């Protein structure tokens, strides 16, 4: 797509840094040396994960004894997912001021939290957007009452922490925290395990074969579902550096390891190649491959990091990307409005603001949900 290598590396390392903070928060600093090819084999890591220590969920009393139930979500039907930036300054106001996004909220099927926002541990890039904050505004109970399903994004394989054990422990802790505070988790979205299995930084990486990486993912899913059997697990994957064919091969490897993802969401580096019809046609082919195998397909709508310097330019970049998708393939089954843009001058990952959904002078994330969906109201795929 013509994306510059330095920018591509920066964006991917930002996501890696986010999950490194997650793992460090639950266990203390991870030992990168243990992640090299000289470290434990995948089978060893099942019992001796990279990071040591025990996760202790930070639980608060449930605000209501109301029995919990999962919203009925048909993943094969069109879905809208919403994942606000972890440090967005008005994140809690989505729940303390729900009258500021009633129209957008009515369009959202799944609300996705980053793992660190529900872990109970502090993290610098999120500011005050931590578990206690969300418990204080009854976020999880309100999502349940609104009929919006909850997803948690979780690491599984990263170049600095290859074993699934600590990641599964952390994901289970986050699920427990949500469910101890009035909510119910329906989905775990794995954060780019294929990339994590292949990325090498400063000579440190996992050195997994495709089959070994797939086995780690299958073990992670088994560990999560052993404690939370109702939770469905899907995957987020990247293009580039992976190609469409490599992602397809990864899906086949996961199936061979005994795991079929509940969904496939693509994180596409959209810089430069955003209007390339041939590229979007390739995405359409991957969608067909995925859904022919019973795996619902989605695209993440986030901004081009080269141009998004404000809420307005973030908004404009995402709308342009949505138009390119619609021209090339029509509406994907899952549309994921998600940001991890940052850090801002404040040190937080805060762009864009979330509220309100009805002020055309404010380029908010919830307004973007409405205007982005409007793009797909016109069936003009070529």
Q: What is the pLDDT along the chain (382 residues), one digit of tens a residue?
A: 333 344 444 455 555 555 555 555 444 333 333 332 233 222 232 222 323 223 333 444 444 444 456 667 899 999 999 999 999 999 999 999 999 999 999 999 999 999 999 999 889 999 999 999 999 999 999 999 999 999 999 999 999 999 999 999 999 999 999 999 999 999 999 999 999 999 999 899 999 999 999 999 999 999 999 999 999 999 999 998 999 999 999 999 999 999 999 999 999 987 655 556 678 888 999 999 999 999 999 999 999 998 999 999 999 999 999 999 998 899 999 999 999 999 999 999 999 999 999 999 999 999 999 999 999 998 765 5
Place of tokens 């040591």: 52
Residue 211 maps to a domain:
yes
* pLDDT given for residue 26 in this prediction: 44
Q: Is 39 a member of any domain? A: no
DSSP labels, 297-360 = EEEEE---TTT--SHHHHHHHHHHHHHHHHHHH---SEEEEE------TTSS--PSP---SS-T
54 located within any domain: no
Domain count, the chain: 1
Quote the CA–CA distance of 314 and 303 in Å, as a whole number: 5
Q: What is the pLDDT of residue 122?
A: 87
pLDDT of residue 49: 31
| Contacts of residue 26, Cβ cutoff 8 Å, sequence gap at least 6 | 51, 53, 55, 119, 121, 166, 169, 170, 173
Q: Hey, which residues does 194 pair with through a beta bridge?
A: none
| Residue 347: other Cβ atoms inside 10 A | 12
Ramachandran assignment for 114, one of left (phi > 0), alpha (psi -120 to 50 degrees), beta (any other) = beta
CATH code: domain of residue 164: 3.20.20.80
Q: Which residues contact 327 (CB under 8 A, 6 or more apart)?
A: 277, 280, 380, 381, 382
Q: How many whole angstroms separate alpha carbon 83 and alpha carbon 106?
A: 15
Distance CA 171, CA 185 (A): 11
Find the length of the chain.
Answer: 382
Residue 300, both tokens: 């993440």
Domain range enclosing 100? 79-375
In this structure, what token pair is assigned to residue 242? 């992976």
Question: 67: exposed, middle or buried (C-beta count within 10 Å: 0-12, 13-18, 19+)?
Answer: exposed
- CA 16 remoteness from chain centre: 12
Question: What pLDDT was estimated at residue 33?
Answer: 31
Alpha helices of the chain — where are they, by DSSP H?
A: 5-27, 42-45, 93-96, 102-107, 131-136, 139-146, 164-179, 193-198, 210-227, 244-256, 277-292, 311-329, 365-375
Burial level of 148, CB count in 10 A (0-12/13-18/19+)?
buried
What SS3 class is residue 70? coil
Does 130 fall in a domain? yes
**Rounded CA gap, 129 and 144, in Å?**
19
* Residue 139: inside a domain: yes
Sign of the four-CA dihedral 189, 42, 18, 23:
positive
- Output the pTM of the full model: 0.85
CA torsion sign, 187 to 164 to 7 to 297?
negative
Q: Is residue 42 part of a domain?
A: no
The whole-number pLDDT of residue 381 equals 55
Q: Do 86 and 114 touch, CB atoms closer than 8 A?
A: yes
How far apart (Å, rounded) are the C-alpha atoms in residues 305 and 343? 11
Q: Does some domain include residue 231?
A: yes
CA distance 242 to 10: 16
Classify residue 158 by its DSSP letter. Answer: B
- Determine the Cα–Cα distance for residues 206 and 209; give it in Å rounded to an integer: 9
Locate 9 and state its tokens: 């590396």
- Integer Cα distance of 35 and 98 in angstroms: 44
What is the spatial distance between Cα 241 and Cα 192, in angstroms, rounded to a whole number? 11
CA-CA distance, 28 to 372, in Å (whole number)?
A: 40
């Amino acid at each position: 797509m013509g994306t510059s290598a330095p920018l591509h590396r920066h964006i991917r390392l930002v996501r890696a840094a986010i999950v490194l903070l997650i793992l460090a928060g639950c266990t203390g600093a991870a030992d990168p040396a243990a992640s090299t090819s000289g470290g434990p084999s995948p089978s060893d890591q099942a019992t001796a994960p990279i990071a040591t220590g025990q996760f202790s969920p930070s639980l608060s009393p449930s605000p209501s004894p109301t029995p919990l139930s999962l919203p009925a979500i048909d993943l094969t039907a069109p879905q809208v997912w919403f994942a606000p930036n972890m440090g967005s300054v008005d994140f809690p106001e989505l729940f303390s001021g729900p009258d500021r996004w009633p129209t957008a909220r009515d369009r959202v099927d799944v609300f996705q939290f980053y793992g660190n926002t529900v872990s109970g541990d502090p993290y610098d890039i999120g500011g005050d957007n931590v578990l206690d904050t969300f418990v204080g505004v009854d976020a999880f109970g309100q999502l349940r009452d609104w009929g919006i399903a909850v997803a948690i994004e979780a690491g599984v394989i990263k170049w600095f922490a290859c074993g699934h054990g600590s990641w599964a422990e952390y994901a289970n802790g986050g699920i427990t925290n949500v469910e101890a505070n009035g909510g119910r988790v329906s989905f775990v979205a794995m954060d780019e395990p294929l990339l994590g299995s292949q990325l090498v930084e400063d000579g440190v990486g996992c050195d997994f074969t495709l089959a070994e990486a797939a086995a780690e993912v299958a073990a992670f899913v088994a560990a999560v579902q052993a404690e939370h059997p109702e939770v469905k697990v899907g995957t987020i994957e990247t293009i580039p550096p992976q190609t469409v064919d490599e992602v397809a091969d990864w899906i086949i490897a996961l199936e061979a390891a005994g795991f079929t993802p509940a969904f496939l969401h693509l994180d596409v580096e959209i810089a430069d190649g955003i209007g390339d019809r041939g590229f979007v046609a390739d995405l359409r082919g991957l969608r067909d491959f995925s859904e022919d195998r019973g795996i619902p397909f989605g695209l993440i709508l986030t901004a081009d990091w080269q141009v998004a310097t404000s809420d307005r330019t973030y908004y404009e970049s995402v709308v342009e990307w949505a138009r390119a998708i619609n021209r090339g393939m029509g509406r994907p089954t899952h549309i994921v409005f998600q940001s991890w843009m940052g850090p801002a001058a404040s040190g937080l990952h805060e762009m864009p603001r979330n509220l309100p959904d009805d002020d055309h002078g404010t380029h908010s994330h919830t307004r973007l949900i409405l205007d982005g969906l409007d793009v797909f109201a016109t069936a003009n795929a070529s």
